[in-house]
Structures are given as C-alpha cells and as structure tokens.
A = this chain, B = another copy of it.
Amino acid sequence: MARGNLLYAQSGGVTAVINATAAAVIHAARSHHVKVLAARNGILGALREELIDTSHESAASIRALAHTPGGAFGSCRYKLKAPEVDRAPYERLIAVFRAHDIHGFLYNGGNDSADTALKLSKIAAEFGYPLTCVGVPKTVDNDLEVTDCCPGFASAAKYTAVSVREAALDVAAMADTSTKVFVYEAMGRHAGWLAAAAGMAGHGPDQAPHLILFPERVFDETDFLARVQAIVARVGYCVVVASEGVRGPDGRFLAEAGTVDSFGHAQLGGVAPHLAQIVKEKLGVKVHWTVPDYLQRSARHIASATDLKHALAVGRAAVNYALAGRNAVMAVIVRTADSPYRWKIAPAPLADLANREKKLPAHFVREDGHGITAAARRYFAPLLRGQAPPPYGRDGMPRYVALKNRPVGKCLPAWQA
C-alpha cells in the first residue's frame, strides 16, 4: 500500500475473539511503524469521520484486548447500497480516507463487508486514490465461502457443545420426577453450523443432543413429537437443539409462529419456547428451554484456543497483505489436514466471498436429519480444541479491558446520510 495510515473497522455481530483480531492488527502494524486508526461503530464511524487513534493505547491494553470479547471500537449493522444506486457514501469514504492519510482499509466482518470492501476498492481505483482494501473474516454463523471456518464461530461452537452437555447432565439427573424435555436454541438464521456443533456434546443415539433441528430441513411437527416421545420412552428424557432459523412447511420461521401477548400483539420470537409449548401441550410432559442469545457469541471465558489462534493469524496476515499492496483480498483460513490438524492463512479474492453464503454441507447431517456425522466431527473437533481462558481478578471476574478510544480530530463537514 501507499505510505500512510491503516483504517480498521468491525462490522456486524461481534464475537468472543474479534478483538483478538484487532489486537493482532494493531500489534503487527506497530511492528512496521504504521499507525492504525479504528472506525467507531464500524463503517458508520468512517462515514461520520468518527475515528479513533489506537496509538494512544498501551502495549498492555492491546495485549488485554486479545482476551476481551465484544467489539472494542463498536460495530454496526449498516449495509451500503450499491454505488450504482447511491455513490455518495463511497465518495465520502474516499474523502475521509484522503483527509486522514488512510491508504489501507481492513474490514473485519462477513460476506456483506467483503462486498463493501470490494466495491470501495473499485471506486478508489476510479478516483485514482491509492487504497488497499483487505477483508478479515469474522462471524459466529460460519457461513463465509472459501475460508475453512470463520473466527468467532469455533468459540461459539464450543460454548454450544459444552453448554448442551452440561445441561443434559442436569436434565438426566432430574428426569425421573422433573423435566423430561429440554430445548436449547442456537443462533444461525440461515445455516445450521452452531446447531450442528451441539452434536459434539454426545455420542450415539442415547446421548444428548437427541434431536437437532437444522434450518436446512423443513420442520414437521408430527414427526418431531413422535421422535421426542420415543426418545423419552427409551432414554428417560430428551434434549433438543433447535436452530433459530427452523422453518415450518409454510416457509415461516417457527420463532414467528403466532404467539401473542395479552394485548394480541405478536410476541418476540424464540423457537425454543415455541417448541416447548408444543411438547407440553401435545405430550403433557414437563419441559424447560433456554435461549442463550448473545451469551453464545460473547462467551470469551470458554473460547477455543484454535479460534483464538485463527483470529490472531487473520489479523496479522491482513496487515501484511495491506502493506504488500494485495488489494481486494480476504485473509482466509485454509485447512490442510484434519488429524493432526494443520492450517494456514492465504489471500482469497473478495469477489469469491462477497454476498455468498455457505450452508452446512449435507454430508455433515446424519441420515435421519437430526444429528451429525463422523465427517462433521472431524471438522469440528480441531476447531473446539484447546482452552484460552482470560486472566481473572480477585473478585473472580475476567479482567477485560476498556480502551481509551481517543478520537481523532475531525476536519471535514458533518456527513449527511
């Protein structure tokens, strides 16, 4: 890239390890004497000229950032329209970059962000503005093409598998006189990666989870109830893992399937409470359910060591690609062997990832449609492997860092969306 500053921005839902990527970016850039500016609240901060000068953060803070969940500079859900529709935001970004001597842009996100980074790199070329755009992968949904996995996913997967195993031991102990069916709701609106990871909690037909409901399969209530009933009869209890994205035969999300409050308003979703309700009504057994929601993607305390290594490696590689002027690529994870697990980081064209979605492969789903295969286990095991606990204080709490986030002075007029 041309001599100047690097801009780093986080995009979309944050994860347990996205800040590890940020820490690696800052650390690597410092070793090359390059300043990293961070956009406050993702691309919106770049548009609003709300930039953070990370050079005020101490080395100790940057080290601590690597074990702090959330998004240290803020992220956002904001998708730029195509430049053919609205060119103004792209031009504004170039203006901000020019004003702050930014010639490298690292965008840490999913397939939307890859698309934005790609478009921005094209506009910059049209303007003749020297800019190297590099994508850095992140998403608990694990739905990016090309990369073997996405940093953030493996830690959420480990949280899911460990939580399901632990809760299943609780249910097993109490089933004789208490809860017989337990429903766990996993994130993943369009792809069943996290629901599948729950399969790592047990082995064989009698160990939990007994039934996984994938968003890739149509939910059949009669079949579901028959399976639950048979499992309760055989095992004594049944643990169900349901993806939030499960849909009925009408194509609607189960989570939207018509629960209303006392005023008749549609109730906030939750596929787990919905399934629990069906089981309670139709089978008449005691049911409990959980919706971990954000806990599953922020649980840094149970992060996978493999995930942490990936998150750091993509950050370092992205800086190297930017400095080497490798434009419009993403730093992706390439698996070269399952056992012993081997992987490397490689650059992939952003165009191969932008706006594409990787579903759970069909051969990861057991023939009956409700569990995972040996191939899935070979894929998941190395990702979940290894612990990477944060340091803890005397109050028993993790020592997560809050950065100073000192703003860079603005020099442009305010941005009008």
- Residues of A at the B interface (CB closer than 8 Å) are 10, 13-14, 16, 41, 44, 68-72, 74-78, 158, 161-163, 165-174, 176-179, 182, 200-201, 257-263, 265, 267-268, 270, 273, 276-277, 280-281, 287-295, 297-302, 304, 306, 377, 380-381, 383-387, 389, 392, 394-398, 400
Contact = CB atoms under 8 A, between A and B. Distances in A.
Contacts of A179: 294
Q: Which 6 A-B pairs have the closest CB atoms?
A: A384-B396, A70-B169, A71-B173, A258-B262, A166-B298, A290-B293
Contacts of A70: 166, 168-170, 172-173
Given A182-B294, A389-B387, A176 B304 contact: no
Nearest to A300: B166
A295 B167 contact: yes
A78 B298 contact: no
Contact of A267 (B171, B273, B300): B273
Given A14-B173, A260-B262, A294-B182, A389 B389 contact: yes
B298 A170 contact: yes
B176 A76 contact: yes
A162 B201 contact: no
A72 B274 CA distance: 30
B268 A276 contact: yes
Contacts of A167: 293-295, 298
Given A177-B77, A397-B200, A294 B381 contact: no
Nearest to A302: B301
Nearest to A76: B177
A170 B292 contact: no
A384 B168 CA distance: 24
A398 B162 CA distance: 7
Contacts of A395: 200, 377, 380-381, 384-385
A294 B298 contact: no
B10 A173 contact: yes
A77 B72 CA distance: 45
Q: Which of A10, A75, A293, A300 has most chain B Cβ within 10 Å?
A: A293
Contacts of A169: 14, 68-71, 298, 400
Contact of A174 (B13, B176, B177): B13
Given A75-B173, A161-B397, A169-B70, A261 B259 contact: yes
